[in-house]
Amino acid sequence: MSRATLTRETGWSVEWLGKAPRRWRTSRLRFLVKVNPSRSELSCVSRDTEVSFVPMEAVGEYGGLQLDQTKPLDEVSVGYTYFREDDVVVAKITPCFENGKGSMAQGLRNGVAFGTTELHVLRPLPGLDPKFLFYLTISHPFRSIGTAYMYGAGGQKRVPDEFVRDFRHPFPVIAEQRAITAFLDRETARIDALIEKKQRQIELLKEKRTALISHAVTKGLDPDVKMKNSGIEWLGEIPEHWDVAKLARIAVNLQTGPFGTQLHASDYVENGIPVVNPANLQSGDIVPDPRCTVSKETFGNLRRHRLDEGDIVFGRRGEMGRCALVTRSADGFLCGTGSIRIRLNLEKADPLYTSFFLRIPAVRDHLLLDCVGTTMDNLNTGIIARIPVAVPPVDEQSAIASQLLAGFEPIKRIVSAIRQSMETLLEYRTALISAAVTGKIDVRKEVAE
């Protein structure tokens, strides 16, 4: 860490930070917090006491813990990270650390929690406000410098304990710390409310988009067309000249991704040929993960699972109905273990139209009734093959798909603009926190007012 110096004119100056108020004093965190306190504190607590259980997915970005899971102390006291009420937790593994995962622990069952081992726990000593410490750990200086101190390879890089203990930063007296946290609580709540409102706008636009798809692929484009009963309760009436066929009748091949014995986690490399798992199927698009890719050699051994442009990838685990069309940019990717490849008969089915149909909520609800598995919903090729599909003539399928794409453009532009404004708000939020905890802005008067 850089050395802090004191000058009469400017006060404390830390090389990476610049000027800080003269009334603030710089210290390493090791003198202000206890890092990773010992679970021996619980030696007198009954072993059947219920405590909060916090896996990494329950740790929020820039604050918040999901505390819906509890376990008896005896089940989690070994092999998990211990913390208690008002401790500050910081994710230490990439990319969770860079993404701001961390929180101040509040509302724990019986005041105690155990969680993922990929957490640093910071317990403030007298003279350091817990909420101020939390804001410091999600500030840009803490996260950016911590990222530079990471060690390890690929997706296993971690922030070491030494970085946390040796992190040097200027601190005000506790009264000013509390003034800063009061200011940040108020201002971040305002920003978060705006972001939540914008997120709701996006959700409403997505609902509109889904409604457009559902109507087009079940009723067609002609409002005056004669209708008939499809014979499928959840499908209802369809145009008189349409057919209903099980997916197997319009497909030439349904292929489950490689078995787990064929593709192991150890086979993944960075920046190789992308593997398409259910997590990569997002809002009808394939979003590859550069950390979930395989080498050319591994791909060669599994080439029967190659994805070609025009295929449809269907997730067979987790969220029902998650699927995406393989476009030119995803041609040559590998179908993952948790996915099923659907290859259509192009004389009977337009791939884009069919991908739209398979994503409608009615198909998802149908699958929920037909899936197998006790701990996780699972699909297989037999279940997928039985999905009833509304089948217009192929040229009409293509016309429906084209009109839907054209209708999505205005929605896409609006969503893009809203997301950009959300990004701006998030950047402002981060900048405001960093400015406040480093003394770049003096909030004492604002809080008093």
62-79 pLDDT, tens digit each: 999 999 999 999 999 899
Scan for tokens 């794409």, then name that residue.
405
Residue 4 pLDDT greater than 50, yes or no: no
DSSP 91: E
Q: The sheet that has 273-276: what strands, in order across it?
A: 268-269, 293-294, 273-276, 334-335
Average of per-residue pLDDT values in the chain: 90
Quote the pLDDT of residue 156: 82
Average pLDDT over residues 99-123: 95
Nearest to 133 by CA among 142, 124, 121: 124
Element (H, E) at 280: none
Helices then strands (H, E): number in the chain? 12, 27
Domains and CATH numbers, the chain: 27-170 (3.90.220.20), 243-391 (3.90.220.20)
CA distance 79 to 96: 20
Q: Kindly report the pTM of this predicted structure.
A: 0.77
Around Cβ 364, how many Cβ atoms within 10 Å? Answer: 15
Element (H, E) at 216: helix 174-219
Which are the contacts of 294, defined by CB distance < 8 A and separation ≥ 6?
Answer: 263, 267, 268, 269, 272, 273, 275, 302, 334
Residue 373 pLDDT greater than 70, yes or no: no
- Residue 254 β-bridge partners: 342
What are the tens digits of pLDDT across the range 162-205? 999 999 999 999 999 999 999 999 999 999 999 999 999 999 99
Please state whether beta strands 168-171 and 25-28 pair in parallel, antiparallel, or not at all (unpaired): antiparallel
Confidence of residue 7 (pLDDT cuts 50, 70, 90): very low
Scan for tokens 């410490």, then name that residue.
133
Number of residues in the chain: 449
Quote the pLDDT of residue 377: 58
Which are the contacts of 297, defined by CB distance < 8 A and separation ≥ 6?
Answer: none
CA distance 12 to 22: 6
Q: How many CA atoms lie within 13 A of 181 on its CB side?
A: 20
Nearest to 359 by CA among 346, 337, 342, 377: 342
User: Which pair of structure tokens corresponds to residue 278?
Assistant: 């259910």
Confidence of residue 221 (pLDDT cuts 50, 70, 90): very high
Average pLDDT over residues 385-414: 95
Q: What are phi and psi of 418, to 5 degrees?
A: -65, -45
What are the tens digits of pLDDT across the range 249-284? 999 999 999 987 888 888 888 889 999 999 999 988
CA distance 359 to 379: 15
CA distance 76 to 202: 39
Confidence of residue 443 (pLDDT cuts 50, 70, 90): confident
Confidence of residue 372 (pLDDT cuts 50, 70, 90): low
Cis amide prior to 95 (ω within 30 degrees)? yes
Helices in 220-307 by DSSP H: which ranges? 247-250, 296-301
What are the tens digits of pLDDT across the range 10-20? 333 455 566 77
Average pLDDT over residues 19-46: 91
The separation between the first and the last C-alpha atoms of the chain, rounded to the nearest angstrom, is 37
CA distance 449 to 370: 61
Longest dimension (CA), the chain: 87
Nearest to 241 by CA among 220, 216, 212, 223: 220
Which are the contacts of 172, defined by CB distance < 8 A and separation ≥ 6?
Answer: 21, 23, 24, 180, 439
Dihedral of CA 15/18/24/28: which sign? negative
CA distance 150 to 159: 5
CA distance 381 to 186: 52
